A and B are shown apart, each in its own frame.
Chain A
Amino acid sequence: MNLTTQTPPTTAVPIMDAEAIRRALRRIAHEIVERNPDLKSVVLAGIPLRGVEMSQRLAEFIREIGQVDIDMGVIDVAMHRDDVGKRTELPVVRASKLPMPLDGRTLIIVDDVLFTGRTIRAAMDAISSFGRPARIQLAALVDRGHRELPIRADYVGKNLPTSPNEKIRVCLEQTDDGSDAVWIEK
């Protein structure tokens, strides 16, 4: 969930290449279509930065598979974090975009890496100031374990056991100006 653009350092171990990412996203899209017969009631809300690109790609696949233009939004979590005032660097805030009413809808949070779960908690906190969706689900490209809160993903691209001091780097074409990749830095 780093928000900086990045290039692979030399100590990195590649985990997923562009094809693997494409397949994972396509599979997630399928799962979303299968589990949500009423696609028009679904909202995909990406967490900046890479969650946004990810949700756009999921929407393209869903349009192919389910023939529906799914509703999209953006959830910025910076102002909902639970560690404001404890960090020496203030997280950058951006405007969120959830302009549609949320009653009765299924909101799927989209993020690239699921780790401690705190970002998702902040996202749910943000969502609550917009409205009250009927249900909230979570799609993550990579689940690397080490949850600090009782949060789990509904749709996962890849389960990746890691040790806490390792870093996961995700590179997406548009966001990072490079080909898709996921790698681990030891």
Chain B
Amino acid sequence: MSTTIIRNGRVIDPANKRDEVIDLATVDGRIADLSAIRNPKSEIDEIDAKGLIVAPGLIDIHVHLREPGFSHKETIESGARAAAAGGFTTIVCMPNTSPVADTPSMIAWIKNRAAEMACVNILSTGAISKNLSGEELAPIGSLVQAGVVAITDDGHCIQNHELMRRAVEYARMVGVPVMDHCQDYNLVGNGLVHEGYWSTLLGLPGWPAAGEEAIVLRNILLAELCDHHVHCQHVSAAGSVRKIREARARGIKISGEVCPHHIALTDESIQNFDTNYKMNPPLRSQQDVDALLDGIADGTLSILASDHAPHAGFEKEVEFDAAPFGIVGLETELGLFLDLLVHKHRKIDIVRLIEMYTVEPARLLKLGAGTLSVGAEADITLIDPEMEWTVDLAKFQSKSRNSPFDGWKLKGRAVRTIVGGETVWQL
């Protein structure tokens, strides 16, 4: 019987509407009732959480683990370590691996690998279309049986609305939400950066906000038509926020997530052609940032995620248009959101922040995780909300270093990550 008591922390458990300074106990990898602990003190592991927040293990629903196929960028093992170092106990990985995760055997492979190698919980998503090519449905039912928690073509976007409609209907039958990377290929063309002042000034092909909004609108229509949940990944544009807000007000099953770089940076950052500022969807204007912040504040955008997209150094160190899109994010996202949303812009309080990383994703994906209820798996994140720290790329657990945040001074970070009652990372 392994018993741990986390003492003196501020326990924030939004699922159970708890926010109090109280001790928390775990026994044999599950949250336990404190009063039921009978062990002599010598057998109890004590963790002093004075000044810290004790939260349910955080969940990141948008992570690229790159394995199989791209293990030079990241592996399930290294990605899990990066997640732990960022304070995450559960991560949901995207299917754009090689081969694509569009068969039950691929899902099984990932599951086994994760069981072997990963120090945090790994959940899979399955592809919507075979090989992510947007032409035929993948065997969604079998994928769900194999254990995927959602389907998505992330990295790609189904352009054929009829096919997407059928996918949403099908997903409804098997009970998983559809997550979508919203990009209209025709409107976007070979767009590299936000279509606006900076793309005009620098002569870079623009990625107009309308290219995202068009597909957000498509997804809202289909969510309504099929009466099923569609989740818009990495929402970046003011127009998208408006449309999602209006649809949610009418009760449509639509949701949106935000990645930290879309509120930490604007398209002004691209002027040195540094590929660490090249992501998809791109960094946009200050007006878009403001709309995202408002969307988070009023609950329109209900989930926070990283879109952790590792790339090897030599892949990013090329001409701007040749570089792959994306940055790593697991080890900086919590710090950035705490610093920007809670401290700097004061858009939400820390309880809501934790809710967006626990209750909201758990509700979307129908997970048992995200709570500190007695009996739940002892996945716990300890957070020091006031700690000032400087991002140091050299210390990252991830295999990749493609991040624009090196040297950033942030306030707030995870200090200890516990999975199934075991500490898998601490500062």
Q: Do chains A and B touch in the complex (CB under 8 A)?
A: no
